[in-house]
Structure 1
Amino acid sequence: MGTGAAEFDDSKIPHVALKLGLSYVETANDLVVFNVPGPRGNSRGDVAIDIELIAGLSAAIDRGAEMVKDYEGWVDPEIGFAEFELLRYGRSPLFYGHAQEKFEFDIRPCSHAHSASPPFEEYGDHIHPLVRVTSPDGQVCIEISRNGPFCPRRLPLETVLGMNRGSRSTSTLKVFMGGPMERFELERKSISLANSMIFELNARNRTACSLRPRVQESVRRSSASAMSYSVRFPRTSVPDSVAALFSSPHSPALRGNWTFSFLSYYQILEYYIPVVHRRDAVRSIRRLMRSLDFDVERDSSLVKVLNSVERSRGASEADQLRTLIEECVPEDKMRAFFEEGNAAHFSKKGPIAAVGAIHLNSGESLGSQVAKRVYALRNRIVHAKDDARYADAPVLLPGSVEAENLLPEIELMRLLAIEVIVDNR
């Protein structure tokens, strides 16, 4: 699959850099140095990649290899190959320690050119864990091994200079098909096989991992995260359960788990929904009874009160959430949140589907729009119905591409939670 570094035309490096979202700096010995751009034109530092891997990726690009849309990975239709970056969780015996030699691998004769056999492969002075299985017909192989050309290991320059050991990834998942395939069919089948493999590794072999989602650059944190430099004696009385929920998204156990962080803030809103809903119902009844034409002796006046009570009792959770937000969250604070760098995320072209865009100049109140979006997103997270009626709003899974782009939603939920708590103290 690769092209030797000695035959590589380094004039192609800038094109490879463009595909990887990097800026070419220089070639030094057997390493190509790139700069990693930040989200606002700043620099995140330099990384080095083995020139042999760059040569292999360049050759693949020349024959039509393309990036996968939703995950960090590539497909090469001409040879029927896919490679994905892998996130590993914990220290599984499959990848660490002497227990690796205890595992048996479902390997059969195949047409693919593999450089080594499980459980290890040697590369220079290093020994890497190697997992590979083959389909019953010998046509497809799935392999977890050291990074190949499509997902080259990016070494920070400090690592190259011996200053630390960090790097972006240490292994990738590869799918070898039986031959050339159409690009989209290859992507679909390879992702399906990869996820099936990941499930069985977890369920059968206690090895937890996932494909790395391709994440959009997060927008900068808005004023919802503004920090005060004044530390004061507390003035806000907060119930114990609400205080615990507000702290949950910052706990090590939930750090980076955006779906659970969203639900923690949503539970705070749920806590106050009955209080605010009753308050709104009492206010509506009191308004009717204060009307100049209200007469306790007239049935029509009492029927109005009864209707108001019944409407209150029959209100859906979505309606109650709208009342909560409209009653407790100042519209100017929500407007400021969306205007300060968050508009693109909450637009129709934003990364979260089936939740409704936010329109600042709509005839609908901002509180109503926000309530609809929050409730729709909540439903996508908690409902996993395998039903055609929900095809337009599929479940939003932890670790998915959409989940990895939830940060602005979390910031919005934090703002709503703070304002609701303050309004009800």
Structure 2
Amino acid sequence: MSEATEGIQPISFDADDISRIERVLGLRHLHTLKDYVIFEHVDAGGIRKLRPAIPLDSTYEILQAIARGAEKMEEYEGWIDPGKGFAEFEIGQGASSPFTSRNADRFNFENRPCSHTHKGEPPFVHDKDRNFMHPLIRVTSGDSSTCIEISPNSALCTPLLPWDSDSRQVRSQTTLKIFLDGETEKSELLRRSRELANSFIFELNARHGVLYSLRPKWERPSYRRRTTAVSNAVRFPKTPVPDNVATLFSIPNDFAMRGNHTLSYLSYYQILEHYLPIAHRREAVKKVRRLLRSLDFDEEKDSSILQILSSVERSHGASESDQLRTLIEECVPEIRLQEFFSFDYGGHFGKQGPISGVPVIHSKSGESLASQVAKRVYALRNRIVHAKDDVRYAESKVLLPVSYEALRLYPDIELLRVLAIEVIVSNR
């Protein structure tokens, strides 16, 4: 049992306690079983419902923290506790760590006496329940006011795992903790803790080859994923597809399964890019032919010839966004776009949608859907591929591969998939 609950027997919770923890964790309380409080997810999003179990003493510590004003982070999996100047991030690890018992003597940690309460000293902390040694990395600032630590989770970041009757299930995870110099205002705590976490993770990677990353906040979408209509008639193929386009169309699902939604988006976008010059040339030829067929066209007049030259020059000067609009207008039927946006995506494409810095889609505005879609698709593409450190791009910061927004890209990816299919079919 943790220090916070020593001498407190038995632990019990009233209705207000249960209501507070349900609200903060987004869970529904079911009952207490042995030394665990059993919950269920409020909305399992159509998947099998798991019933997370939190140890009683951890539940008590979480309630104490909530009473102090602790709350979950909005963009990352983790907590901030302004009353203590404490932040804790859940982290992922991409490779084995060099900080093992075999290599323990090789490392010197910049660790100094401090005023914080820690549960162990580097390089390891012993898990008595499972007789296991967890790596413990801690460094302290020169003035001893701030500590950064990577170690097993506190009660706040207790993994939400199902109850296990034989209690053998591992109920710990590695987290990154920031200890500041006492009570800290919320926004400053968030800013400073993210700054320190990013800096520490970078140096662990660059200097020691240790691959840690902060886990972005994950939430089940408020809408049901659209299921594309499928045909039951399997036919001999009639749609010729270039090799590179076929490859680009087949791999987005693999990227999504690995959690890289931005690459899924870019794969579909590259299909559209492949066809941009084709559609653009076709549009340019169409305009020239229209001029040639005009009743007042006279090949003997300079003014008529200059009209053709002007049309060709404008064609060569068209931006990628203009070419994209032309491609969508030419290849994607308006009714197909109307059908797509008739589905409820939980406000994803509206003003309150989760993706910032991109145009919204108004199906009833005066602008065509093709034009609106082209603007959004191109703006989102720019947010993914551009990382300019320039005030001109401050309002549209880069969309990181592992981020709150990246985890919510599905409707935009589905839109790109629909566009890619229509463009491929149109150009066969």
* Aligned residue in 1 for 2:19: 14
C-alpha change, 1:163 and 1:241, in structure 2 (3 Å) is farther
Unmatched tracts of structure 2, length 5 or more:
none
Structure 1 stretch displaced more, 258-267 or 120-129 = 120-129
Is 2:136 aligned against 1:130?
yes
* Aligned residue in 2 for 1:80: 85
Give the distance between the partners of 2:253 and 2:76, measured in 1 at CA.
26
Structure 1 stretch displaced more, 275-284 or 230-239 = 230-239
What are the within-5 Å matches in structure 2 for residues 7-406 of structure 1?
8-11=11-14, 12-38=17-43, 44-94=49-99, 98-100=102-104, 102-126=106-130, 127=132, 128-157=134-163, 160-161=164-165, 170-218=173-221, 219-223=223-227, 225-251=228-254, 255-342=258-345, 344-406=347-409
Give the distance between the partners of 1:360 and 1:75, measured in 2 at CA.
40
Cα distance per residue 1:51-81 (max 9 Å; x no partner): 1111111001111112222112211111111
Give the distance between the partners of 2:425 and 2:166, measured in 1 at CA.
51
Structure 1 residue 43: deviation in Å?
6.1
Give the distance between the partners of 1:338 and 1:90, measured in 2 at CA.
42
Unmatched tracts of structure 1, length 5 or more:
none
Do 1:35 and 1:43's aligned partners in 2 also have CA atoms closer than 8 Å?
no
Structure 1 residue 3: deviation in Å?
4.0
AA aligned to 1:59 is: Q
Do 1:13 and 1:54's aligned partners in 2 also have CA atoms closer than 8 Å?
no
Give the distance between the partners of 1:289 and 1:185, measured in 2 at CA.
66
Q: Give structure 1 regions of 4+ aligned residues with deviation exceeding 6 angstroms.
A: none
Give the distance between the partners of 2:5 and 2:184, measured in 1 at CA.
22
Tell me, what secondary structure is at the counterpart of 1:359?
coil
Between Structure 1 and Structure 2, how many residues are aligned? 420
Structure 1 residue 164: deviation in Å?
9.4
Give the distance between the partners of 1:42 and 1:215, measured in 2 at CA.
15
Do 1:254 and 1:260's aligned partners in 2 also have CA atoms closer than 8 Å?
no
C-alpha change, 1:305 and 1:405, in structure 2 (3 Å) is same
Give the distance between the partners of 2:168 and 2:241, measured in 1 at CA.
44
Give the distance between the partners of 2:104 and 2:411, measured in 1 at CA.
41
Give the distance between the partners of 2:187 and 2:309, measured in 1 at CA.
59
TM-score by length of 1: 0.93
Structure 1 residue 288: deviation in Å?
1.6
Do 1:254 and 1:261's aligned partners in 2 also have CA atoms closer than 8 Å?
no
Give the distance between the partners of 2:358 and 2:251, measured in 1 at CA.
24
TM-score by length of 2: 0.92
Do 1:249 and 1:255's aligned partners in 2 also have CA atoms closer than 8 Å?
no
Give the distance between the partners of 2:211 and 2:313, measured in 1 at CA.
50
Do 1:156 and 1:166's aligned partners in 2 also have CA atoms closer than 8 Å?
no
Give the distance between the partners of 2:376 and 2:176, measured in 1 at CA.
36
Instruction: Quote the sequence identity (%).
Output: 53
Structure 1 stretch displaced more, 43-52 or 170-179 = 43-52
Do 1:248 and 1:254's aligned partners in 2 also have CA atoms closer than 8 Å?
no
What are the within-5 Å matches in structure 2 for residues 406-417 of structure 1?
406-417=409-420
AA aligned to 2:86 is: F
C-alpha change, 1:97 and 1:246, in structure 2 (3 Å) is farther
C-alpha change, 1:265 and 1:322, in structure 2 (3 Å) is same
Tell me, what secondary structure is at the counterpart of 1:150?
helix
AA aligned to 2:331 is: C
C-alpha change, 1:163 and 1:291, in structure 2 (3 Å) is farther
Tell me, what secondary structure is at the counterpart of 1:19?
helix
Structure 1 residue 212: deviation in Å?
1.3
Cα distance per residue 1:21-72 (max 9 Å; x no partner): 0111111111111101326587622111111111111001111112222112
Do 1:35 and 1:45's aligned partners in 2 also have CA atoms closer than 8 Å?
yes
C-alpha change, 1:42 and 1:291, in structure 2 (3 Å) is same
Do 1:143 and 1:174's aligned partners in 2 also have CA atoms closer than 8 Å?
yes
AA aligned to 1:265 is: Y
Cα distance per residue 1:206-232 (max 9 Å; x no partner): 121211111343333225x44444332
C-alpha change, 1:381 and 1:42, in structure 2 (3 Å) is closer
Do 1:2 and 1:53's aligned partners in 2 also have CA atoms closer than 8 Å?
no
Structure 1 stretch displaced more, 175-184 or 245-254 = 245-254
C-alpha change, 1:206 and 1:16, in structure 2 (3 Å) is same
AA aligned to 2:351 is: K
| Among 410, 418, 421, the residue aligned to 2:421 | 418
Give the distance between the partners of 2:260 and 2:170, measured in 1 at CA.
22
Give the distance between the partners of 2:142 and 2:70, measured in 1 at CA.
27
Structure 1 stretch displaced more, 28-37 or 364-373 = 28-37
Do 2:138 and 2:147's aligned partners in 1 also have CA atoms closer than 8 Å?
yes
AA aligned to 2:35 is: D
Do 1:66 and 1:76's aligned partners in 2 also have CA atoms closer than 8 Å?
yes
C-alpha change, 1:385 and 1:28, in structure 2 (3 Å) is same
Structure 1 residue 125: deviation in Å?
2.1
Give the distance between the partners of 1:112 and 1:326, measured in 2 at CA.
62
